[in-house]
Amino acid sequence: MSDVKADIQKAIDSSDVVLFMKGTKEMPQCGFSSRVAGVLNYMGVEFQDVNVLADEGIRQGIKEFSDWPTIPQLYVKGEFVGGCDIITEMTLSGELDQLFDQKGVVYSKEAAAKIREANA
């Protein structure tokens, strides 16, 4: 398990924004992963995707690592932010924008506003 934990930590440390997901950002393999990747892609966020379907150790290990039972899982600057429901809520409330601003993550404020507009 320690190797898996080290691999997970290395992935989180490798990029400012990391999404542990089923599939890839180009080809998500579940609706929840697709939603979060879609939000990040639409907002123009540069992020590293980690396909948990490619490695059973990572798939189980990330749940223990974060103490969070579901995938996808979003990390920003090494900090666990949440899964699909939390990211959706944060996007619609503007909290995700605030987090990106605080952490110095580049994103399109215009795209974020369009998401909120479309869901108002």
Taking a C-beta distance cutoff of 8 angstroms, is the pair 111, 43 a contact? yes
Burial label for 118, CB within 10 Å (0-12, 13-18, 19+), is exposed
pLDDT tens per residue across span 91-114: 999 999 999 999 999 999 999 999
Counting the structural domains of the chain, the total is: 1
**Per-residue pLDDT band at 2 (split at 50, 70, 90):** confident
Is 84 annotated in a binding site? The answer is no
What's the confidence (pLDDT) of residue 1? 52
- Could you tell me the residue range of the domain that residue 102 belongs to? 2-118
pLDDT of res. 107: 97
45-51: average pLDDT: 98
**What is residue 29's three-state secondary structure?**
coil
Q: What is the pLDDT of residue 120?
A: 85
Q: At 90, is the pLDDT very low, low, confident or very high (cuts 50, 70, 90)? A: very high
Q: List the CATH number of the domain containing 44.
A: 3.40.30.10
